[in-house]
Amino acid sequence: MAFEARDIGIGMIGCGTVGGGVATLLRDQAALYERRLGRPLRLRKVLVRDAKKARQGGAASELVTTDADAFFATADMPIIVEVAGGAGTIHEHVRRAITTGRHVVTANKSLLAAHGAELFALARRHQVSIAFEASCCGGIPVITALHAGLMANRIDALYGILNGTCNYILTEMTQQRKPYDVALSEAQQHGYAEADPTLDVSGMDAAQKLCVLASLAFGAQVTSEQVRVIGIDQLELTDIRFAAEMGYDIKLLGIAEAVEGKLSLTVQPCFLHKDVMLAQVRGPFNALSVYGHATGQTMYYGRGAGALPTASAIVSDVINLASGGYPHAFAALNLWSDQQPAARIIDHDDLCSRFYVRINAMDRPGTMARVTQALGEAGISLSAVMQHESGEGKFVPVVVLTHRARWGSLRQALAKVEALDVIDGRPVCIRIVDLPDG
């Protein structure tokens, strides 16, 4: 559907946190957008589940419908913004938008991670495009950086704080000593969390974003099943405190690294030295460090969640579509996941890193000798050992930092440590990330 009318008609599926932000921007900044684009943007129809709910922003009640057929029958609506989330019916709505010749703007990383390649191919066949800046890192233009600004680079690695909810929770737990549940409920009240917040705290939301970013950066199709995911829901306050004591912060990091022609893809809580810029990203803010072979490190920082930052990415996509720039790039460049081979993933056991290990050990003669023997036999070298003073004959937390080690070797050694009669419970192990020079 070409942009024939004088104004640019927009249909919107969903009008919750992000949709409310989009409606607000379209209403409050109408004159600015018209000046920039030379034509007005017009919200024509809004599809929701419940027509009676009060709506934020400029989504006037006469625009709102629950009837999908009426929505898609609306004339002069060449752009459809999808800010509903999830797959299922929404996947069908996005397919319908494309097959009826509409460009799509979406914030839905779970849809893209699961069906991106299929939807990109469908869009290409129907000569429309899909813009998805809002799907990763909210208001920070990381997708544009990868597909436009860094085009001259071979990308070697991405390190990202990709989930605002988790970063908010970790910041509140670390700095304010708030309990996990209190911090999570605050993140929900601020509108950062997904409708189902287990997607955030389990690390799955960050994994879906990592799929979208890694596909674009490394030119390979990546699925969420290929990402090793550990959330923050299992993290204990004890480890946050030990990290602080040793000069580190714990961050949920999404990491995609090229290793000998393969990709390593992980989302997990990681130790980051406090002096590193990524460690200083706090609250709902996100950041992405991209290592390009020519640029070295470039870093993108800003609000990764919330109504207006995310709406900014959506409306920017709408303007770039309406100007004709984005559709041209989408048609001309071989960048999107339907054009890429499947990613080759490194065996996670072969990942090499430093690690933090915490064990609950009996404070009596010979305990540490048995632990270090199990680690030593696996070729694991220790760089620090820490135990607070305690009463003899009791179980106490003992913390060990390793030098760089192969994860598979450490995993096997820790199974032997766990089996010792002087050890209580499972050892806790967290990756220590040393960012490349750059």
CA R_g for the chain = 24
Query: Is residue 191 near ligand NAP by the rule CB under 6 A?
Result: yes
Residues 121-140 that bind ligand NAP (CB under 6 A): 134, 138
Residue 228's Cβ-count burial label (10 Å; 0-12, 13-18, 19+) is: middle
Tell me: does residue 227 bind ligand HSE (CB under 6 A). no
Please list the active-site residues.
209
C-beta neighbour count of 362 within 10 angstroms: 18
Binding status of residue 164 toward ligand HSE by CB under 6 A:
yes
21 is a site residue for ligand HSE (CB under 6 A): no
Per-residue interface string for the shown chain with ligand HSE, residues 271-310, x marking contact by CB under 6 A? ---------------------------------xx-----
Cβ atoms within 10 A of the Cβ of 196, count? Answer: 12
Instruction: Give residues with Cβ within 8 angstroms of 62, minimum separation 6.
Output: none
Measured from the CB of residue 226, what is the shortest distance to ligand NAP in angstroms? 20
- Beta strand residue intervals within 127-273, DSSP E: 130-131, 155-161, 228-229, 248-259, 262-273
Residue from 172, 167, 356, 327 nearest 254 by CA: 167
CA dihedral 77→80→81→82, nearest 10 degrees, is 140
The least CB distance from residue 86 to ligand NAP, in Å, is: 6
Q: Of the ranges 34-42, 121-129, 190-198, 261-269, which one interacts with ligand HSE (CB under 6 A)?
A: 190-198
The mark string for 363-402 relative to ligand NAP (x by CB under 6 A, - otherwise) is: ----------------------------------------
49 touches, from ligand HSE, ligand NAP, none (C-beta below 5 to 8 Å by class):
ligand NAP
Question: Which range binds ligand NAP by CB under 6 A, 44-52, 153-161, 238-246, 268-276?
Answer: 44-52
Based on the shown chain and the rule CB under 6 A, indicate whether residue 48 belongs to the binding site for ligand NAP. Answer: yes
Please tell me whether residue 57 binds ligand NAP under the rule CB under 6 A: no
- Contact 80/103 with Cβ under 8 angstroms? yes
Report, in Å, the least distance between residue 167 CB and ligand NAP: 12
Which of 307, 314, 306, 18 is CA-nearest to residue 168?
Answer: 306
Give the residue with the Cβ less far from ligand HSE, 194 or 317: 194
100 vs 297, which CB is nearer to ligand NAP? Answer: 100
Name the region of 97 (left: φ>0; alpha: ψ -120 to 50; beta: rest): alpha
Helical packing angle, 109-125 and 89-99, nearest 10°:
20
The item of ligand NAP, ligand HSE, none sharing an interface with residue 163, based on CB under 5 to 8 Å by kind, is: ligand HSE
Pairwise CA distance, residues 49 & 31, whole Å: 30
- Whichever of 118 and 196 has its CB closer to ligand NAP, that residue is 196
Mention every residue, 6+ apart, whose C-beta is less than 8 A from residue 365.
none
The set of residues, in sequence order, having a beta carbon less than 8 Å from that of 326 and lying 6+ positions away, is 129, 131, 317, 320
Q: Which does 200 bind (CB under 5 to 8 A by kind): ligand NAP, ligand HSE, none?
A: ligand HSE
* Residue 175 near which of ligand NAP, ligand HSE, none (CB within 5-8 Å, type-dependent): none
What is the separation, in whole angstroms, between the first and last Cα of the chain?
45
What is the per-residue DSSP string for 96-140? HHHHTT-EEEE--HHHHHHHHHHHHHHHHHTT--EE-GGGSSTTS
CA nearest neighbour of 9 among 43, 58, 52: 43
Answer yes or no whether residue 203 interacts with ligand HSE by CB under 6 A: no
Is the CB of 94 or the CB of 240 nearer to ligand NAP?
94
* 156 near ligand HSE, rule: CB under 6 A: no
Q: What are phi and psi of 320, to 5 degrees?
A: -65, -30
Alpha helices (H) in 277-431, listed in sequence order: 307-322, 325-332, 367-377, 407-419
- Binding-site member from 83, 97, 258, 423 for ligand NAP (CB under 6 A): 83
- What's the 3-state SS for 202-214? CCHHHHHHHHHHH
Residue selected from 27, 28, 89, 379 as contacting ligand NAP according to rule CB under 6 A: 89
Minimum distance, C-beta of residue 177 to ligand NAP, in the bound complex (Å): 25
Binding region for ligand NAP (CB under 6 A) out of 150-158, 191-199, 331-339, 363-371: 191-199
The residues of the shown chain that bind ligand HSE, judged by CB under 6 A, are 138, 163-165, 192-194, 200, 205, 304-305
The residues of the shown chain that bind ligand NAP, judged by CB under 6 A, are 13-19, 47-50, 53, 83-85, 89-90, 107-108, 134, 138, 191-192, 194-195, 305-306, 310
